[in-house]
Amino acid sequence: NHKAFIFDLDGVIVDTAKFHFLAWRKLANDLGFDFTEEQNEQLKGVSRVESLKRILKWGNMELSEDEFQRQMAMKNENYLSYVNEMDDNEILPGVRKVLDYLTEKNIPFALGSASKNARPILKKLNLYDKFDAIVDGTDVSKAKPDPEVFLIAANKLNTPPHQCVVFEDSVAGVQAANIGNMTSVGIGDSDVLNEADHIFTDFTEIKIEFIENLLRKEN
């Protein structure tokens, strides 16, 4: 049976995915090209550096190392201007119910995010103290789909990977959970996240019975 839960942040707990998209798109537009929402799926769950590499490839552009760093810093500044306006009203519908249930039942749960902004964002949402462990972009060296971030989280929760459930909105994150031998729950479009063990459009579709079932049995 499953014993612990791991949550991605952007696009799962809070809709910062839309802010990442806006900020990356502005960067591309300023450099003179554009990319689609479909291409944006390939940026979800992917580190800041790797995201910019992919975007530049789409625009057939190369930047000097200095300019690359400058663009990344500008993107983050732009992204944080959206984040700074956020409060706990931005927690996605249905998420709190699940977190409260796990807290009440003393079931451990962690954050597993590629973002270097994860800790300040959780603080803005008043969720920072609710997590038993937080693993984010400042703690890992390998980006999703490498399972490193989730394996560290499982270890911090003292739970073997196969007894962990991962909630993810990105293709890379679902793959990371699967490669890490964890149960993956995709949050979003079932066509995009078809590799997930379970898929829901959003957390309002997740009933407490689903969580209880995971706690009772394997997969």
- Is 30 annotated as ligand-binding? no
Q: Is residue 114 near ligand G6P by the rule CB under 6 A?
A: yes
Please confirm, yes or no, whether 197 is among the known catalytic residues. no
Tell whether residue 157 is among the known ligand binding residues: no
Chain positions 152 to 171 lying near ligand G6P, rule: CB under 6 A, are 170
Compute the least distance from the CB of residue 160 to Mg ion, in Å.
Answer: 24
What residues numbered 146-205 form the site for Mg ion, per CB under 5 A? 169-170
DSSP 41-59: GGGTT--HHHHHHHHHHHT
C-alpha R_g of the chain: 17
- Which among 203, 145, 102 has a CA at the least distance from the CA of 110? 102
Q: CB of residue 1 vs ligand G6P: minimum separation in angstroms?
A: 29
CA atoms within 13 A on the CB side of 85: 7
Q: How far apart are the C-alpha atoms of 134 and 6, rounded to whole Å?
A: 9
Q: What does each C-alpha distance from 52 to 13, 64, 71 come to in angstroms?
A: 24, 13, 8
Closer CB to Mg ion, 11 or 137, in the complex: 11
Task: Confirm or reject binding of residue 124 to ligand G6P (CB under 6 A).
Answer: no
Based on the shown chain and the rule CB under 5 A, indicate whether residue 132 belongs to the binding site for Mg ion. Answer: no
117 belongs to the binding site for ligand G6P (CB under 6 A): yes
- Residue list for the binding site: 8-10, 24, 43-48, 51, 75, 113-117, 144, 168-169
